[in-house]
A and B are shown apart, each in its own frame.
Chain A
Amino acid sequence: MATLELANIVKTFDRTTVLHGIDLTVSHGEFVVFVGPSGCGKSTLLRVIAGLESPSGGDIRIDSQVVNDIGAAQRGCAMVFQSYALYPHMSVYDNMAFGLENLQVPRPQIQAKVQDAARLLRLEDLLQRKPTQLSGGQRQRVAIGRAIVRDPRLFLFDEPLSNLDAELRVSMRAELRELHARLGATMVYVTHDQVEAMTLADKIVVLRAGRVEQIGAPLELYNRPCNTFVAGFIGSPRMNFLPAALLSGHAGAPRLPEGSHTIGVRPEHAQAAIEGPVRLTVTQVEQLGASSVLRGTVGVNNPFELVAPGQTGLRAGDSVALTLPAPQLHCFDAHGQRL
């Protein structure tokens, strides 16, 4: 039940600055996802919020209270680690009860809370097992259970699904989403996987090299990325970028705003056609049944990817015209900023 505010958070290790003044407001009950390539500082930011690292500058406010000098435990956050960090010598029950025992909660109350969490996460039959006897997904649930039992104000997740296989990741994603809906707690989630970000988040924070590139709802980032980095990062397959010069002078080409340097078009928005301003030379065809992925080049060595609905008769080596629908074109200036 908490709001979180970050004001100009700076973090330096020795001489390297990892976070360059991060500002962020998270309102109560929001699911915020930090996303960015590895090394962008998203995990560090999460650890700063958790209190495991102290910021070199700026303020962290939880429920409008500055918590810079408050220890990790007293901030009322619970964290789920990438490696789960379950205590290997304790049973699942003890793992979940450890935090409450430290708070000297009476024993019957601990038992009730752990049982509740176990029921919520379908861990009731595993309470007496050791973490090593659990599967990856079960460990993940124990780690989440350990966070839940303490009724934290703020849940922090550090790439919790990255150690799971693809199938499990999808189902755990759904479970997390459901959990958020049920608990209604404020959650901050770190991932480098934009699909996770898109599916889970109420609000996505895209980070690059310690700076916030854009903050917004998933579809907002998809529809109106503010620069080429966000445009390329959000959406799968990646957005295609073409030099604006390629379109100028073609009949039937959409009109571009003044100062356009790069145009971006998503693979699912371009269409193969008989007539079009650009031609795609196909080098690779992937038939997925419901859709087809065509890879190739446009103009002189501009890689291009196209997702066409249904199945296609095109083969590697073929050439096809493309139409680029104007409403879905993204135009960027010479510095990569949206026009």
Chain B
Amino acid sequence: MRTLAFFTRTRGRHRLDWTDWLSYLYLGVGLFTLFAPIVWLLMSSLKTESALGQFPPTFLPYSQKTVTVAGHDKPLPLFTVRQADGSLREMAQMRRIGIMATLVDPAQPTQEVRVNINDRKPVSELTFAWSNYTDLFAKFSFGRYLWNSVFITVVATLLTLLINSMAAFALSKYQFRGQKAVFLLIIATLMIPPTIILVPVFLVINSVGLLNSLWGVILPAIATPTGVFLLRQYMLTIPDELLEAARMDHASEWRIYWKIILPLSAPALAVLAIFSVMWRWNDFLLPLIVLSKSEVFTLQLALNSFQGELNTQWHYLLAMTVITLVPITLVFAFLQKYITTGIASAGVK
């Protein structure tokens, strides 16, 4: 009840104010433009290959009904045929030559009828082509790609949190010569687009022999200026007295970091974790140059490889795209509370 009341709130008490019209219109358009492509993708991923090629396209995954007719090995497509007297009849098509099609009544397999193709209409039914998804696992080493992606995302995120929080701890809680300079240097690297350092990064990865290794994708980007900045800003709000109290409590600096700083930075760490998962999961360029063997492909690379030069298997591509979207959607659904508070408190996007 309360949710409903929340979603139907209006400014006008009894009737809709003009601002209500405007906001609901805006929200409606927003919802449509943002959500329609996703829904379309979801629906299309459940269509058969032939249904995808159909024109005009349908929203729901329709496909042509087929029947097995005695004397034919394969199931034949079913059509509604307009007969000479104007009545309609369902028949299976045996073959088609030019504009003439040869059809047969499934009930009387010997009686063949030839009709103009304009006089027949395919019989469609709602079918969900789950095989698009199941085939992925059967036909391709999809599990392998999924594992690679998950491994890279999880390991890289953990390392990112560890390395960045250490740097942020030092920069926010220790006074040392050059502290400001180091911080500015780290922030300054934000201005360098990753594409610019792609070639040097490749050369480095190549010379340390990490080409075609998942570590070659994980290691180059675990230290991120955004993460250091975000965590440092948050850690500045942790009172120094806590650290001093811990020091008087015989805590080593490592223990202060581990037992005091990290737990208290949890909200900022959550934000960085979400960002890191998104970056790593969606990353394409770095894996593309580092990983060239198909057994180390990530999902994103596998998606790309589906798009052949001559022939694109759209039904698999779409299904895989949906699977690729799932983790990010889950991350958002469950952690959105942290995202909003984190963005608000850190003041960054």
What is the interface of chain A, defined by CB distance below 8 A to chain B? 50, 52, 71-73, 77-79, 81-83, 85-89, 98-99, 102-103, 146, 150
Tell whether, in the assembled complex, residue A52 and residue B244 are in contact, meaning their CB atoms are under 8 Å apart: yes
Tell whether, in the assembled complex, residue B259 and residue A73 are in contact, meaning their CB atoms are under 8 Å apart: no
Tell whether, in the assembled complex, residue B250 and residue A73 are in contact, meaning their CB atoms are under 8 Å apart: yes
Distance between Cα atoms of A73 and B255 in the complex (Å): 14
Tell whether, in the assembled complex, residue B247 and residue A73 are in contact, meaning their CB atoms are under 8 Å apart: yes
Closest Cβ neighbor of B238 among chain A residues: A88
Shortest Cβ distance from residue B165 to the other chain A in the assembled complex, whole angstroms: 15
Tell whether, in the assembled complex, residue B239 and residue A102 are in contact, meaning their CB atoms are under 8 Å apart: no
What does DSSP make chain A's interface, helix, strand, loop or mixed?
loop
Tell whether, in the assembled complex, residue B251 and residue A98 are in contact, meaning their CB atoms are under 8 Å apart: yes
- Chain B stretch 232-266: residues in CB contact (< 8 A) with chain A: 239, 241-242, 244-252, 255, 259-260, 263-264
Distance between Cα atoms of A50 and B245 in the complex (Å): 11
The verdict on A81 contacting B251 (CB below 8 Å), with A87-B260, A89-B264 known, is no
The verdict on A72 contacting B251 (CB below 8 Å), with A83-B239, A89-B263 known, is no
Tell whether, in the assembled complex, residue B242 and residue A87 are in contact, meaning their CB atoms are under 8 Å apart: yes
List chain B residues, Cβ under 8 A from A71: 247
Interface string of B168-180 (1 = CB under 8 A from A): 0000000000000
The verdict on A52 contacting B239 (CB below 8 Å), with A87-B260, A102-B255 known, is no
Tell whether, in the assembled complex, residue A99 and residue B247 are in contact, meaning their CB atoms are under 8 Å apart: no
Shortest Cβ distance from residue A132 to the other chain B in the assembled complex, whole angstroms: 13
Tell whether, in the assembled complex, residue A85 and residue B242 are in contact, meaning their CB atoms are under 8 Å apart: yes
Distance between Cα atoms of A72 and B248 in the complex (Å): 6
Apart from A52-B244, A73-B250, A86-B245, what 8 extra A-B contacts exist at CB < 8 Å?
A50-B248, A73-B249, A79-B245, A81-B241, A85-B239, A85-B241, A85-B244, A102-B252
Q: How many A-B residue pairs have CB under 8 A?
A: 54
Neighbour of A73 across the interface among B241, B242, B248, B263, CB < 8 A = B248
List chain A residues, Cβ under 8 A from B249: 73, 98-99, 102, 146, 150
Interface string of B253-292 (1 = CB under 8 A from A): 0010001100110000000000000000000000000000
The verdict on A72 contacting B247 (CB below 8 Å), with A87-B260, A88-B264, A89-B263 known, is yes
List chain B residues, Cβ under 8 A from A73: 247-251
Tell whether, in the assembled complex, residue A78 and residue B246 are in contact, meaning their CB atoms are under 8 Å apart: no
List chain B residues, Cβ under 8 A from A99: 248-251
Q: Which 7 A-B pairs have the closest CB atoms?
A: A99-B249, A85-B245, A85-B241, A102-B250, A73-B250, A89-B263, A81-B241
Tell whether, in the assembled complex, residue A77 and residue B248 are in contact, meaning their CB atoms are under 8 Å apart: yes
The interface centre, meaning the residue of B248, B250, B259 with most chain A CB atoms within 10 A of its CB, is B248
Closest Cβ neighbor of A97 among chain B residues: B249
Q: 17 A-B pairs, CB-CB below 8 angstroms? A: A52-B247, A72-B244, A73-B250, A77-B248, A78-B248, A81-B245, A83-B241, A85-B239, A85-B245, A87-B246, A98-B246, A99-B248, A99-B250, A102-B251, A103-B250, A146-B245, A150-B249
Distance between Cα atoms of A87 and B247 in the complex (Å): 12
List chain A residues, Cβ under 8 A from B251: 73, 98-99, 102
Closest Cβ neighbor of B262 among chain A residues: A89
List chain A residues, Cβ under 8 A from B263: 89
Shortest Cβ distance from residue A129 to the other chain B in the assembled complex, whole angstroms: 17
Shortest Cβ distance from residue B260 to the other chain A in the assembled complex, whole angstroms: 6
List chain B residues, Cβ under 8 A from A86: 245
Closest Cβ neighbor of B243 among chain A residues: A85
List chain A residues, Cβ under 8 A from B244: 52, 72, 79, 81, 85
Distance between Cα atoms of A103 and B248 in the complex (Å): 11
List chain B residues, Cβ under 8 A from A150: 249
Distance between Cα atoms of A88 and B251 in the complex (Å): 16
Shortest Cβ distance from residue A83 to the other chain B in the assembled complex, whole angstroms: 5
Shortest Cβ distance from residue A136 to the other chain B in the assembled complex, whole angstroms: 16
Shortest Cβ distance from residue A78 to the other chain B in the assembled complex, whole angstroms: 6
Shortest Cβ distance from residue A236 to the other chain B in the assembled complex, whole angstroms: 30
Distance between Cα atoms of A337 and B247 in the complex (Å): 42
Shortest Cβ distance from residue A70 to the other chain B in the assembled complex, whole angstroms: 13
Distance between Cα atoms of A188 and B248 in the complex (Å): 16
Shortest Cβ distance from residue B150 to the other chain A in the assembled complex, whole angstroms: 30
List chain B residues, Cβ under 8 A from A89: 263-264
The interface centre, meaning the residue of B241, B255, B263 with most chain A CB atoms within 10 A of its CB, is B241
Tell whether, in the assembled complex, residue A98 and residue B248 are in contact, meaning their CB atoms are under 8 Å apart: no
List chain A residues, Cβ under 8 A from B241: 81-83, 85
Distance between Cα atoms of A73 and B260 in the complex (Å): 17
Distance between Cα atoms of A260 and B81 in the complex (Å): 128
Shortest Cβ distance from residue A199 to the other chain B in the assembled complex, whole angstroms: 26
Closest Cβ neighbor of B244 among chain A residues: A52
Shortest Cβ distance from residue B250 to the other chain A in the assembled complex, whole angstroms: 4
